[in-house]
Amino acid sequence: MSYIDEIIQQVIEKNPDEPEFHQAVREVLDSIRVIVDANEAQFRRDALLERLVNPERQIKFRVPWIDDQGNAHVNTGYRVQFNSAIGPYKGGLRLHPSVNIGIIKFLGFEQIFKNSLTGLPIGGGKGGSDFDPKGKSDREIMNFCQSFMSELCKYIGADTDVPAGDIGTGAREIGYMFGQYKKLRGLFEGVLTGKGLSYGGSLARTEATGYGLLYITDALLRDHNIDIKGKTVAVSGAGNVAIYAIEKAQQLGAKVVTCSDSTGWIYDAEGIDVALLKEIKEVRRERLTAYKNAKLTSEYHEGRGVWQIKCDIALPCATQNELTLEDAKLLKENGCIAVCEGANMPTTEDATKFLQENGILFIPGKASNAGGVATSALEMSQNSERLSWSFDEVDSKLRGIMENVYANISAAAKKYGMEGNYVAGANIAGFEKVLDAMNAQGIV
């Protein structure tokens, strides 16, 4: 059996009940087969792949917190410090009831290669909790975040591990966590990114993942002589990534006709009203039914369904495995030309394969959503030099980074005879830098 297949089997056996982690490992290892096969003896001797798929450290802890009625609850907190070959661990914190160690490991594993693709010095990590922020008061959120950080603060720091937002963790949660870290460690330092602008946050970090997604989508389309102007776009999700993807798509002249949350979805033939969406999601924290109520010409549907809408470009920006084979077939039937992932691993394995085999341009999340973490790294730079850059300066750096990511994944795919396969290109280009750093640093 090949080294790669042995490792994939080992990952499945040693990490049962973690299907998302298996999926992420399988996709990366399948893509780097050419490199591994050519170096099999050395890689086996150095247990290179074993070191790649086993996190450097996994931290799991109890998070007790008290609700507004005075009742205590206990959630589980996680931080997986996956790989520090190219820099301090970096990656978000997810707060969602579906969180378990397998989800955090899949996200942490993806983060290694994503962070490498940004060209910036950041290693891979991820964390979070099965806490559900929905329906909680501000005080309950604060209480949870403080308890979570009371334990996490022992393991992180501006030069060791720098968490940030993800699903369920936005500016409010980062603020409460930062306050608690500072109180317990006595350090005002860039230990978290996505901070508020008044205490060390970076302009354009809020927008970065969504804007970055559109910068790379635009680069992809231009490379194929297609103009994004006038194109119809379907977006899923209605959170941080989706909102700013919609905003930038509109600025580039495209029309976005859908968005969704975990209870339903909107079809707005006139184009999503992004100011209204921000008001509902960022300020009032309401469901998408509020969008329909405010904009009577739009349609609201319960459940999932955005991929049945005819579009040229599909941008899944909600969560993992939300775009299935059935959805991919609908997109194809409806003439979709490109799918670029805003979320982490939103497309199932069989759907990805179908899209690629049917000539639909496809960029995987580890490349196309890298703008968020890249801008987090720019926030770290600003914190280190105790300066703040202008919005335009950060935004233009972000655009440059995303254009580079596209050029690199495209070149890597071509170099290994897989032109246009951006999944292979992203995994190979991301892996090469990590490999070089791991080899240089010895067996650690």
What, of ligand 2IT, ligand NDP, none, does residue 90 touch, CB below 5 to 8 Å by kind? Answer: ligand 2IT
Distance of closest approach, residue 342 Cβ to ligand NDP, in angstroms:
6
- 223 Cβ contact partners less than 8 Å away, ≥ 6 residues apart: 406, 410
For residue 174, the Cα-to-chain-centroid distance in whole angstroms is: 17
- Choose which of 52, 164, 177, 219 interacts with ligand 2IT (CB under 6 A): 164
What, of ligand NDP, ligand 2IT, none, does residue 150 touch, CB below 5 to 8 Å by kind? Answer: none
Distance of closest approach, residue 164 Cβ to ligand 2IT, in angstroms:
3
Stretch that binds ligand 2IT, among 36-44, 84-92, 280-288, 401-409 (CB under 6 A): 84-92
For residue 334, what are its two tokens? 């409806």
Measured from the CB atom, the residue of 344 and 348 that comes closer to ligand NDP is 344
Measured from the CB atom, the residue of 117 and 435 that comes closer to ligand NDP is 117
**HSE (side-chain half, CA atoms, 13 Å) at 377:** 25
The alpha-helical segments, DSSP class H, found in 237-324 are 240-251, 274-278, 289-294
Measured from the CB atom, the residue of 162 and 274 that comes closer to ligand 2IT is 162
Catalytic residue among 114, 126, 195, 366: 126
For residue 143, the tally of other CB atoms under 10 A from its CB is 19
For residue 73, what are its two tokens? 């609850």
**From CA 378, how far away is CA 397, in angstroms rounded?**
9
Q: What is the largest CA-CA distance in the chain?
A: 65
Residue 397 buriedness (CB in 10 A; 0-12 / 13-18 / 19+)? middle
Distance of closest approach, residue 326 Cβ to ligand 2IT, in angstroms:
26
Measured from the CB atom, the residue of 162 and 337 that comes closer to ligand 2IT is 162
Buried residues in 422-439 as b, exposed as e (16+ CB within 10 A): bbbbbbbbbbbbbbebbe
Distance of closest approach, residue 343 Cβ to ligand 2IT, in angstroms:
9
Closest CA to 362 of 216, 236, 215, 212: 216
What dihedral angle (degrees, nearest 10) is formed by the CA atoms of 122, 125, 131, 133?
Answer: 20
Q: Is 91 in the site for ligand 2IT (CB under 6 A)?
A: yes
126 is catalytic: yes
Stretch that binds ligand 2IT, among 76-84, 86-94, 266-274, 348-356 (CB under 6 A): 86-94
For residue 110, what are its two tokens? 């993806």
Measured from the CB atom, the residue of 152 and 228 that comes closer to ligand 2IT is 152
Name the residue with the smallest CB distance to ligand NDP.
239
For residue 115, what are its two tokens? 């962070």
Distance of closest approach, residue 78 Cβ to ligand 2IT, in angstroms:
14
At 241, phi and psi to the nearest 5? -70, -50
Distance of closest approach, residue 92 Cβ to ligand 2IT, in angstroms:
3
| Contact characters 352-391, ligand 2IT, x per CB under 6 A | --------------------xx--x---------------
DSSP string across 364-431: -HHHHTHHHHHHHHHHHHHHHHT----HHHHHHHHHHHHHHHHHHHHHHHHHTT-TT-HHHHHHHHHH
What, of ligand 2IT, ligand NDP, none, does residue 314 touch, CB below 5 to 8 Å by kind? Answer: none
What, of ligand NDP, ligand 2IT, none, does residue 117 touch, CB below 5 to 8 Å by kind? Answer: none
What, of ligand NDP, ligand 2IT, none, does residue 193 touch, CB below 5 to 8 Å by kind? Answer: ligand 2IT
- Choose which of 22, 79, 90, 399 interacts with ligand 2IT (CB under 6 A): 90
Amino acid making up residue 327: D
Residue 172 buriedness (CB in 10 A; 0-12 / 13-18 / 19+)? middle
Q: Is 92 in the site for ligand 2IT (CB under 6 A)?
A: yes
Q: Are 306 and 234 in contact (CB under 8 A)?
A: yes
Measured from the CB atom, the residue of 163 and 435 that comes closer to ligand NDP is 163
Closest CA to 236 of 170, 286, 311, 292: 311
Distance of closest approach, residue 405 Cβ to ligand 2IT, in angstroms:
13
Name the residue with the smallest CB distance to ligand 2IT.
92
Residues forming contacts to ligand NDP in the complex (CB under 6 A) are 165-168, 209, 237-242, 261-263, 317-319, 342-344, 369, 372
Distance of closest approach, residue 90 Cβ to ligand 2IT, in angstroms:
5
Measured from the CB atom, the residue of 167 and 424 that comes closer to ligand NDP is 167
What residues make contact with ligand 2IT under the rule CB under 6 A? Answer: 90-92, 114, 164, 166, 193, 344, 372-373, 376
Catalytic residues: 126
